[in-house]
Structure 1
């Protein structure tokens, strides 16, 4: 196993490309796909030592695999890029690569929380996250309180009223209204109560936002989205700065849940990350132009994009993100029928859920990604029947705008 440390890069572009190297003796230029379920021991003693944890090495791919380990190190290096710990040393993070973002969320909650503990989180969340907190966690005796995390007074009151809260979970920007939460303010408040803070950094990626700089304890991503960037594999990752917790309790939970990723998906993820900085710059630049264009269109009632000066979280977004990102949503004046008309008329933009791929993806949250929520819960979260979500791709922005223009014409108003 190669133990020579990698250089401390001056630029994130270099870190994304050269952040990991092959551990094998053949020094493959690309990280190989280690397609094996198990690994061979040189001796009985070596096998015993590896199971005991006294000797490094691989045992079984549900526990760890060289390809998935490389992806974990690469993502950890990007989330920690340029950051220092409390002792002014380079920040060290532990990452666990999962088969999905939901798997990463499961490991976080089931390793950190116990029967009787509670969670505080956003009212507006990704539909799967909302259902996980509202439906699955209560089966384990863990209750969730939903509130507006941008209201620090409401957060403080919730923490006072519910001393069993052990975790504040942030999604910023939120899906699909692009609301932003003040990460640093939440972390400072949580610290006074001795509460952990986790954040879903999927929309922003470590290129646009580094939550550990603001004091969070855990970060997780659906790597399916921007980190992969090409829609070729499902995945998720959980990262933590408490290395002892991550290497013991979190790792044990991860192994027992069986939510691990696989070598092929990790290989695709590593290759996608190599272009992450370039893609996020282009995504953000295109989204800014698309949002401004939609904001002036007579068929559009409202545009939700934190890159617009009219967005209520514009200043906060600019303070904690390098750029506003690729995702926006907009509400059509004609409601559900206008939304169906618009989506059916698209010629280039892709009709699909998910987000973060190089092509532009457009979906209808109320009937797709958030359909599992009750209608009253959707409306409370601001998800109306006329809301359209758009993950702006890296195509020529002129072509994106041309498709939107023709799709919004003829009866969409």
Structure 2
């Protein structure tokens, strides 16, 4: 087991060793602590645990040792190589949830009250958009949508709406892969004393570290690339204000009951160990797919941040290690051509979600964004014919052959 004082230089090492805790029984891998509650040797010990900041040995809705290892590993990946305002290694606190939606709910509910406003952009994940515009709206928390890629429009929205308390962004966004300049938006937000939260699910901490730009919160659906194998649902909220995360954020987390479970946390921990290897393959395969599709006569448009044709290519290259494993595209024949294409696939998997080792292909308009009105979807670039592809780690020759035979019928 790596010594905690050993300074790891690469994210691959952090993915394997970061966050690990010595097991009292000398288990090589993090054990699954499948216990709803934990006993106390004495009344005094129980009092001390309740009074302390470590809630992992009281009740598993409050925390669990298996959760802790997963939380610490994600925090280590997001903070790797970064420093705080004092020049010291950045410390982050993570809270592991049962799903991404649970983590997102803790983020918003612990920071916002009735009368507050969230400033965000178009082309968000459908579940996030519905949470903002329906659930939070019914509780008096409003949402303003603006083109946050444009600094003039972004600042105009901040100036005109003093009730804005938080700026929430996805970059790259789902499924149009629009990218927001993290440095620009965070600098603007600081002028107006606004909190900034970033959904880093598509990029993962291997490709992008939003805390480098002094954002306040980072969110992941751990179901996706962090787990990497489609074996468990999960979400995580990370924050740089340790007292807030251990206090108010933890209180909302515990009371809302959106905690993870030990088995899913175990699966997540094991999945993250190969994050660097998987992401390198996802990214190289996605670039090859994008380049192939861009030249194919049946394709109307390819949306991939690694292509110079993407409007946010420069922003993506500025703040991401690689363009990522996600892309979208439209067929010239529209919806009917898209349905035939999807039905002919033989290797790629027809499924929602993303970030698994196998290639997943879905139709956002009828699946992940079905709850968003058509006019609103199309305004944000999510057309009826848009296909989203999470490129897996299969041999690229096989992925391209499946695309070829499916496109050419």
TM-score class normalised by the smaller sequence = over 0.9
Gaps of at least 5 residues in structure 1 are none
Give a deviation string over 1:337-370, Cα, whole Å, max 9, x none: 0110000000000000000000000000111111
Gaps of at least 5 residues in structure 2 are none
Q: Which residue does 1:108 correspond to in 2?
A: 107
Structure 1 length-normalised TM: 0.97
Q: Which residue does 1:315 correspond to in 2?
A: 314
Q: Distance in 2 between matches of 1:22 and 1:195?
A: 36
Give a deviation string over 1:97-150, Cα, whole Å, max 9, x none: 000111111001000001100000011100001101110101211000111110
Q: Distance in 1 between matches of 2:109 and 2:72?
A: 23
Q: Distance in 2 between matches of 1:257 and 1:233?
A: 20
Q: CA deviation at 1:400?
A: 0.3
Q: Which residue does 2:349 correspond to in 1?
A: 350
Q: Which residue does 1:194 correspond to in 2?
A: 193
Q: Which residue does 1:141 correspond to in 2?
A: 140
Alignment of 1:263-412 (within 5 A): 263-410=262-409
Q: Distance in 2 between matches of 1:306 and 1:11?
A: 24
SS of the residue 1:408 aligns to: helix
Instruction: Report if the CA contact (8 A) 1:23-1:66 is conserved.
Output: no
Q: CA RMSD in A?
A: 1.2
Instruction: Report if the CA contact (8 A) 1:22-1:32 is conserved.
Output: no
Q: Distance in 1 between matches of 2:53 and 2:211?
A: 30
Q: Which residue does 1:204 correspond to in 2?
A: 203
Q: Distance in 2 between matches of 1:183 and 1:62?
A: 34
Q: 1:409 to 1:54 in 2, by over 3 A?
A: closer
Q: Which moved more, 1:74-83 or 1:54-63?
A: 54-63
Give a deviation string over 1:251-287, Cα, whole Å, max 9, x none: 0000000000010000000000000001000000000
Q: Which residue does 1:25 correspond to in 2?
A: 24
Q: Which residue does 1:234 correspond to in 2?
A: 233
The aligned length equals 408
Instruction: Report if the CA contact (8 A) 2:53-2:246 is conserved.
Output: no
Q: CA deviation at 1:23?
A: 4.1
Instruction: Report if the CA contact (8 A) 1:353-1:363 is conserved.
Output: yes
Instruction: Report if the CA contact (8 A) 2:328-2:387 is conserved.
Output: yes
Q: Distance in 2 between matches of 1:227 and 1:91?
A: 21
Structure 2 length-normalised TM: 0.98
Q: Distance in 2 between matches of 1:321 and 1:331?
A: 25
Give a deviation string over 1:188-215, Cα, whole Å, max 9, x none: 0000000000000000000000000012
Instruction: Report if the CA contact (8 A) 1:124-1:175 is conserved.
Output: yes
